[in-house]
Amino acid sequence: MRYDGKARQVVAYVAREQAPAAVNPEWLKPLGEKPAPALIGGRSFGAPSLLSMLERLHADGGLLPWSKLTERAEQLARVGVPLSEFAAKSLKRVYLVKRGGAQEIFLDNTGTPQPAGTIIRNRKLAAVLAAIGRDGPTVLSGGVAGNAIIRTISESRIDPMPITLDDLE
């Protein structure tokens, strides 16, 4: 939300994720009276729309150049930040990190979750953030980052989901 002083009104921006076109509504229906369990894998994917919303917000009143907006996050991803107590405890639910590229970030050489205080670096995220700063949100709907998202979701070992670049726009 932001206040538009000229129009004297509050403007709300929506950035809710969108299901890919291939989603079948039956996939997410509750089982009987019980709520559907949390999903892990491709079917849990929602196409991100936050960056597009932030781009609209920035166009409507941002003061800094777009490229400046991702600099600090990119630096923190590259240099690293200490793993919090909460995150370290969450990593003990190993099923959350034993997939994809999470192991190389959150597990040590023996496959044990990193303890609190460990400096966590994510150079791939840093590269994506640098590209977003340079090229804008379209980085996620095309190129290396968009294709990596599609590959990860559509080739997931658990409930793969067919998605396309159109789903990421």
d(Cα 11, Cα 165) in Å, to the nearest integer? 29
**85 in any annotated domain:** no
- Tens-binned pLDDT, residue by residue, of the chain (169 aa): 889 888 999 999 888 888 888 877 776 665 565 655 666 677 777 777 888 899 999 999 899 999 999 999 999 999 999 999 999 998 887 666 666 678 889 888 888 889 999 999 999 999 999 999 999 888 888 778 888 888 888 888 777 888 888 888 7
Number of domains in the chain: 1
- Domain span including residue 136: 2-80+121-168
Residue 95 lies in a domain: no
Q: What are phi and psi of 105, to 5 degrees?
A: -95, -45
Integer-rounded Cα radius of gyration of the chain: 19
Q: Looking at the domain assignment, is residue 139 inside a domain?
A: yes
Residue 6 belongs to a domain? yes
pTM of the model: 0.79
Residue 25 lies in a domain: yes
- Domain assignment present for residue 97? The answer is no
